Chain A
Amino acid sequence: MSDLKPRCNGCAGEGPEVRSRRDFLARFGGGFGAVAAVHLLAREGFGELPASQPVNPLAAKPPHFPAKAKAVIHLFMHGGPSQVDTFDPKPLLSRLHGQPPPPSILKSEEKTFLQFTKLSEAPLLAPRATFKKYGNSGLEISSLFENVAQSADDLAVIRSCYHDAFTHGPGVQLINSGVFRLGHPSMGAWAVYGLGSESENLPAYMVMVTDGSISAGAPGYGAGFLPAVYQGTLLRKKGTPILNARAAAEFAPGEQREVLDLLNWHNQQHLASRPDNSELAARISSYELAFRMQTAVPELTDLSRESESTKKLYGLDDEITEPFGRNCLLARRMVERGVRFIQIYKDGWDAHTSCDENHAKNARAVDKPIAGLLTDLKQRGMLETTLLIWGGEFGRTPVTDGQANSEVRTSDGRDHNPYGFSMWMAGGGIQGGKVIGATDEIGLRAVEDKVHVHDLHATILSLLGLDHTQLTYFFQGRNHRLTDVGGDNNLASRLIRA
């Protein structure tokens, strides 16, 4: 399975022919066609662009093969929701509640490093939520997500996700970039690098944060070693939604235009004696785009034109569901406006204590909005081409959290668990009503049909029409990929609707 890493495909760049081909284009090509070709070559791992190459790095690029999904909405349940309380029913837990894990589980205890918990000393904890079968497919989903469950036949639940970063920062980093060390690009950045932007006036990769903050900080949605232009742009909760994308208060009405006109006049003069430098020309046109962004952003965030029923669908009429619901609705509006990759973070799932209550509260805040998003996208015929991903940076332990010695910590929390957890996907070509993989009898470790983060990434890229082995960037002596040397699990083919 994919935890074996047989070959370092990522390193296997082709040698001399390619290099000379690129050199040829770079040195003697000239002309725009050649320039575009160089850019495509760069994406295919044939080295980086010559630094002076004046190409719009965000120009739309064709996919490697026809895409199923045009856009991705990643619903990031930050903190790590428990799989056994949501999408991975384990009836055994109720039977063995309060008892130590079965001996079969404890056999490889030393390989299951948890943050606060010693497996053999922690009793099993049964979830309070109950599971029911939904839809024609009979997918089992817990009562925490009873609204999402109405779309059960659209969901493909992967119950065998795993990795080995057992804390939040590295976990977020790993889910986003495939590597838990800092410095690597997040999947949104890779997607935009591979496909460019469809939106004239908005960033191609946007991030929204509901409650709290992201453990990894901005590098979590950063561009890593890719050019900064591919990084995620945070839609701000306070002040201007996109940093600086509002005419400064210092401008009198119409004054900014005067500034831009004078600027343009000077810049044109400057360019006239340096006609070969297209970077200067690109900078001139970036001011026009900047000007347009100032109107595009308020237009995006203005929900007044949305109907009351739509707002209700997303739970905007309820103060508990409103924050996440608003972000979900904004995500739909972003997709409509050509944004390629959207992440909505919902912090708070880190239930070291009172897992039942924590999850009830968090699920209450997101269940209806997500269900609304699924329904709305479907009604508008957008679900077919929009991939939804739900999941956290890891799951939680089926045993109680081990911090019982602290006075606040009681026995009904759950610790972090990266060894087995659930995620689901919907839309964007996904065959719904499906379950992939399984965890062991208590839901601790993925055991059947294991799906590594690299496999998820390979799948997401392939739905976007990108071959994860071909989408490479040359850095520090080798062609890097989002999937590093992994992503061998042929998950995509099993998830895609025939």
Chain B
Amino acid sequence: MFVQRAYWPFCWQVMREIFARCPAASWEGHFANCSVLVILLCVFETSAFAQSETSIEQAGIAVLQKNCISCHGDPRISNLDLRQRETILKGGTRGPAVIPGKAEESILYQAAAHSGELKMPPGRARLSTEELESLQKWISAGANWVKTAATVGQKSEPSWWSFRKPQRPSVPEVHDKNWIRNPIDAFILRQLEESKLTPAPSADKRTLLRRVFFDLIGLPPTPEELKLFLGDSSPGAYEKVVDYLLASPHYGERWGKHWLDVVRYADTGGYQTDLYYKDAWLYRDYVIGSFNKDKPYDRFVQEQIAGDELWPDNLDLHGSYYIPEKKMEHMEARLGTSLYAISPVYHESGLDVENYFDMQWTDWVDVTGSAFLGLTLGCARCHDHKFDAISQRDYFGLRATFSGSDRVEIPLVHRMDLFDQWQFYPRHIRLQQLRAEAEKISNQAKRRIVDSLKADLPKETREAYEVPEGKRSPEQQKLAAKFQEAINRIKEEEIVAKMIPVEKGKYEELVKEIGKAYLQTLKPMPTATVLGHSEVMPDVHLLIRGDYRNKGERIKPAFPAALRDENEVIEETALRPLVPQRRKALALWLTNPGHPLTARVMVNRIWQGHFGNGIVATPNDFGRQGQPPTHPELLDWLATEFVSRSWSLKQMHRLMVLSSTYRMSSRANEANLKIDPQNHYLWRMNPRRLEAEAIWDSVLAAAGTLNLKADPLKYFRPLKQINPALLNELGGPPVFPPLSLDEREGGDLLEKSQWPDSLDPNEHTRRGVYVYVKRSFSFPMFKTFDAPDASLSCERRQNTTVAPQSLALLNNEFIHRQARAFAVRLLRENGDHPAACIENAWLLALSRLPTEEEKRKNLEFLFTLEQRWRNDGKKAETVNWLPEQLRTILPARAEALAKLCLTIFNLNEFLYVD
């Protein structure tokens, strides 16, 4: 019998095993075992074990291909490349991966078998016993290499699901065909049927209407809209509502906000001085507008990453004041890149440019990874990603795509407007002249104060101050500086008081003149802050342990190795001057229809918006540390559908909200609860609490104070009739609702001047999405209800239930102001009829009528409170908030009604959507 040489280590091991188990004294046993060995070897040679040399190698290499190459192939995580024998033997940062012939001593095998410190593959189950066996055999046999299909140039399929291209699955067969409205239902129902779960019955019409209104536009239906829908028994009634909502400009406000969370939108730079980004709102409006016009998502991505490189243009006129539409479109695309201009920046980073760019690039790569790729690239900044196939080189390759890009402020006017600015510039000169004159007078008066102060100074100090600067001794410097500090503390009022009458008259006149002159200057030229290119393109280096002062090798721009095909590279033309195209390459690569992540990540976000949880519950992390999809096939079906429907978001919304799945009730079913208490498989709709801004909007909507800044569209008006000009009426610079005294004076706000309350009270009740997002001070009402921190991407709102929320809705000035406004609205609409007021209140706030019992309870409440107020006559006199026309109403009654309105704002039913 001849045993191939390559098998000897294995035979030896088998023999060792046998001898170890065999009592040394028992020769009989020994012989018996030897015969076992002989038989075994025969079997080895001839049957299942008798693999040819190549089959052992093929099996071993196949294990590597399937489980390891995605990280230890092209990405060379930990510097380890398992694609060739030489590189395997050379190993990575931990030394040789394999010692031929010694499987148990090889790090590769130890890691795979979880027998050593290192456990691979990360974040996943250990390899199967069969796989381990193949690996062990292959190493024991000398770890020889054979060429397999995968090793001959052809790239292996990535091992991680989300790195593979989505494959269009066929729509599954189910038993209950009647339930299926579209393919989404088939995928959901099959899973339910397999898990012995039954789908919840359809929600009633009123619940469904409220749900779809909040989901699509973030506002409750008005009583008229409710009535129309409840009265419409035609088969397409619900479809009509959906189309109406998708055509509403408020859809963009709702869904734009979701996107703004993902891209950490804010109006300021954060940190101590919290730089004001005066053009940030243009990006906010750009996002809202993009959703409203159903901009294809691939285009949306392209614009944000590389609007300038893809559609370079200017605003020049063509023979008239008309700017061609194409140019406007290109300008809009360019606004998209403001995504990168709104990153957090701290003031003093300006002192250290390397630090500044390091902060910028870190934020830019992070936000790109989170928002578009759904990957946490940040891990690979300091070292190769421990779980995903992203190496540190990949990370810096992406960083290099942003090198040479920087914020630039561009005029948002055409050349003629620009010339106007130059024409009227002398008005600014006039303003400066007047100001200089005023300062002259003010300085004269100030000098008088200084002189009188000086007279009271100790001799040395006075002398020190009188010595010209630069000639003072150190001691004199100190004394003089101290006096200078006192001078700097002199206040404007003191100076004005010290002016002689002639001066004062002149001064006051000048101040008036300055005001007038200011009104005559042109308004500041509108600009946008977007990405452009710096004159030099700094080299990007791999940073050792992520420290910007510790530079490693130079890195060229590139896409992450595990996600690209070999031909997908960033090429730069040799032409000079070089027009950078790096971001353009990135944008086009991301929006390639076959990209494994882009479409999946976005459809998952839409799904989360409608169903409460994503199919992947971690929308910013499709890597190994994220949650696996609950319905992988559905996700791929949606992703491919999304691409084939030209990346239309509105069509995806439509598909989802028209499904039977979406229309299910949120009520629980005992049997289902036992099987799937978390509702992973969607046997019912998830009830949800409204987010901070939606609570704000709902309060205002009920109170009738919501300023939508555009005519609410008439019911069922088709999309094409919407005047595009109407859309422009949304948005604008951020609004500053007044802070309560406690909020303003309490100490959270660094400088009171940093929150200039909007002067126009109508601006105080705009939708939440337009409220100023200040990184160092989030609007208290929103912060209490889990508004995100706006410095890092927020994939999903937190949802906490804590006492400060209850305190805010019980005691805050805003809520009481709105409760009174709500009461005024009810009194206006229903007159002094408590029962009618209650019914209307319920309809406005909760889209339903109160039950008889509820009505009775509320009437009792009104009566009790009214009595209380009447008995306290003095207190009742303080009720002066009723408008003139309603002064006939008993103040005590109005107060009671306002308290009922307040109660409604606090109801769980008001804050939760079924």
Contact = CB atoms under 8 A, between A and B. Distances in A.
Interface in A281-303: 282-284, 286-287, 289-290, 293-294
B578 interface: no
Interface stretch (B79-87, B119-127, B495-503, B760-768): B119-127
B673 interface: yes
B560 interface: no
A216 B811 CA distance: 28
A273 interface: yes
Given A30-B677, A182-B775, A238-B742, A216 B122 contact: no
Nearest to A215: B272
Nearest to B820: A250
Given A115-B351, A218-B777, A408 B481 contact: yes
B747 A213 contact: yes
B272 A276 contact: no
Contacts of A409: 481
A353 interface: yes
A287 B898 CA distance: 19
Interface stretch (B300-308, B334-342, B854-862): B854-862
Interface stretch (A82-90, A145-153, A253-261): A253-261
A263 B689 contact: no
A231 to B, nearest CB: 8
Contacts of B347: 167, 169
B130 to A, nearest CB: 18
B807 interface: yes
A482 to B, nearest CB: 16
Contacts of A196: none
B346 A239 contact: no
Q: Which of B784, B805, B813 has the most CB of A within 10 A?
A: B805
Given A169-B272, A485-B382, A236 B348 contact: no
A133 interface: no
Interface string A209-222: 10001111111001
A286 B805 contact: yes
A258 B613 CA distance: 37
B861 A276 contact: no
B746 A167 contact: no
Interface string B608-619: 000011000100
Interface in A135-184: 166-170, 173, 181-183
Nearest to B472: A410
Contacts of A57: 800, 802
B272 A263 contact: no
B481 A290 contact: no
A173 B271 contact: yes
Contact of A274 (B272, B346, B351, B668): B668
B725 interface: no
A309 interface: no
Interface string B882-914: 000000000000010011101100111101100
Contact of A262 (B747, B792, B857, B898): B857
A412 interface: yes
Nearest to A221: B748
Contacts of A52: 678-679, 686
A28 B791 CA distance: 36
Interface stretch (A12-20, A101-109, A314-322, A428-436): A12-20
Interface in A332-375: 353-354
Interface in B108-150: 119, 122-126
Contact of B620 (A5, A28, A476): A476
Contacts of B272: 167-169, 215-217
Interface in A187-227: 203, 209, 213-219, 222-225, 227
Contact of A286 (B362, B678, B747, B806): B806
Interface in A375-419: 407-412
B437 interface: no
Contacts of A12: 386
Interface string B450-484: 00000000000000000001000010011001101
A50 interface: yes
Q: Is the interface of A mostly helix, strand, loop or mixed?
A: loop
B401 interface: no
Contacts of A40: none
Interface residues on A, range: 35 or more
B399 to A, nearest CB: 16
A258 B485 contact: no
Interface in B271-301: 271-274
B271 A248 contact: no
B621 A228 contact: no
B23 interface: no
Interface string B423-438: 0000000000000000
A186 to B, nearest CB: 12
A21 interface: no
B795 to A, nearest CB: 9
Contacts of A113: 352
A76 to B, nearest CB: 14
Interface in B251-272: 270-272
Q: Which of B370, B667, B875, B902 has the most CB of A within 10 A?
A: B902
B517 interface: no
B442 to A, nearest CB: 19
B484 A256 contact: no
Contact of A27 (B488, B545, B678, B899): B678
A163 to B, nearest CB: 13
B799 to A, nearest CB: 6
Contact of A290 (B680, B689, B810, B907): B810
B315 interface: no
B802 to A, nearest CB: 5
Interface in A28-77: 28, 30, 50-52, 57-58
Contacts of B625: 13, 474, 477-478
Contacts of A259: 810, 899, 902-903, 906
A271 interface: yes
B485 A408 contact: yes
A270 interface: yes
Interface in B596-636: 612-613, 617, 620-621, 623, 625-626
B869 interface: yes
B812 A248 contact: yes
Nearest to A248: B811
A237 interface: yes
A266 interface: yes
B387 interface: yes
A239 B745 CA distance: 8
A392 to B, nearest CB: 15
Contacts of A130: none
A283 B908 contact: yes
Interface string B230-252: 00000000000000000000000
A229 B378 CA distance: 26
5 pairs of A and B residues whose beta carbons are closest in the complex: A477-B376, A217-B776, A169-B272, A182-B791, A239-B742
Interface of B: 119, 122-126, 270-274, 344, 346-348, 351-352, 359, 362, 366, 370, 375-376, 378-379, 382-383, 386-388, 469, 474, 477-478, 481-482, 484-485, 488, 545, 549, 612-613, 617, 620-621, 623, 625-626, 666-668, 673-674, 676-680, 686-687, 689, 740-743, 745-751, 775-778, 780, 783-784, 786, 789, 791-793, 796, 798-808, 810-813, 816, 854, 857-858, 861, 864-865, 868-869, 872, 875, 895, 898-900, 902-903, 906-909, 911-912
Given A213-B747, A228-B802, 10 more contacts: A15-B122, A27-B677, A252-B865, A255-B868, A265-B857, A289-B806, A293-B803, A294-B807, A477-B376, A485-B382
28 contacts: A13-B625, A15-B124, A16-B123, A27-B676, A209-B747, A219-B270, A228-B784, A228-B798, A228-B802, A229-B802, A236-B742, A237-B745, A238-B741, A248-B813, A248-B816, A253-B872, A256-B810, A258-B861, A259-B903, A259-B906, A262-B861, A266-B907, A286-B801, A289-B803, A410-B478, A410-B481, A476-B793, A477-B388
